[in-house]
Structure 1
Amino acid sequence: MNVEKIIKTDKEMSLESKSIIHLVLVNNKINEALTNALKPFDVSLQQFNVLRILRGQNGKPANLSTLNERMVTKMSNTTRLVDKLLLKEFVERTTCESNRRKVEITLTKKGGTVLEKMDYVIIKTQNSLLNNFKDEELIELNSLLNKF
């Protein structure tokens, strides 16, 4: 990916600027590919993330705070995401009996089934995005990104 060519500039850029712009462009490409992969399921990346978090709970309910803490993309609109997943019948929301202010969210059977199908297309998309990399390069890339 040639940064200068993509942003159509002939100006000399600092290595720092070029690096940041490069990271933003790669991020955009990844988001676009993953969003397109999830489009047939009518689910956003953030909704997909909520479903994966709930699956990771292994049947144990999660509250909004837990979802927010574990989200890849931090946002304050977790309630809206859960509402959309409720309408699709991918999650259930119940009020905790011991603490009426606490809302518990669980993955439904339908949500788990569709999540498995989403997993397949996401893995396929990830592999497609990363097919130019060897395993050693991905390890190095992750090591470099850990410095952030």
Structure 2
Amino acid sequence: MAKSKLQLELKKKTGFETLEKEAMLNLLRTGDQFQNRYGRLFREHGLTSSQYNVLRILRGEGKPLPSLEIADRMIQVVPAITGLIDRLEKQELVSRERCVEDRRVVYIEITPQGLKLLKQLDKPVDDLEKSLLGHLSQKELKELSRLLEKARTSV
């Protein structure tokens, strides 16, 4: 039986024990490679992927959000949302305001500087996404999304 592309990439002498294992390793390897490319792009602009994600969430919402709501919407789970927001605030990309009714709630708002940085990143992010996935057809992209969503239903 011919070796799979992943088997060749990993220089694995024998086949995978199960199709689930091969699919999982393919998913992890692809995710790692994509994350590295995004990380490089964001580092050029003084951000991490998680910081970019916070800014993207705030811009998309169009109004301040409680920090715990931001944490719930993150692509990757962030154990320390407060520290992440601290760093964004230090860069003057977000601002904080305590809720008057409930002092435990802190609202986070993207600043004009944060919006400007996201605007600068829009084209490079689009270009990166096209370079990573542009060789797939619209039908393949829809199927990929469908399969990934289906895979997450067991979580």
* TM-score (normalizing by structure 2): 0.89
Structure 1: gaps of 5 or more residues:
none
**How far apart, in 2, do the equivalents of 1:88 and 1:38 lie?**
14
Counterpart of 2:139 in structure 1 is 136
Aligned residues: 147
Structure 2: gaps of 5 or more residues:
none
Runs of 4+ in 1 over 4 A off after TM superposition: none
Output the aligned Cα RMSD: 1.3
Relative contact order (C-alpha < 8 Å, sep 6+): which is higher?
Answer: 1
**How far apart, in 2, do the equivalents of 1:101 and 1:140 lie?**
43
**How far apart, in 1, do the equivalents of 2:51 and 2:70 lie?**
11
* Cα deviation code 1:65-103 (max 9, x no counterpart): 101110111122111110110011000011122222221
* Cα deviation code 1:2-47 (max 9, x no counterpart): 2112221111212221111111000001101111111211101100
* TM-score (normalizing by structure 1): 0.93
The one of 41, 66, 70 equivalent to 1:67 is 70
The one of 49, 55, 62 equivalent to 1:51 is 55
What does residue range 103-114 of structure 1 map to in structure 2 within 5 Å? 103-114=106-117
**How far apart, in 2, do the equivalents of 1:53 and 1:131 lie?**
24
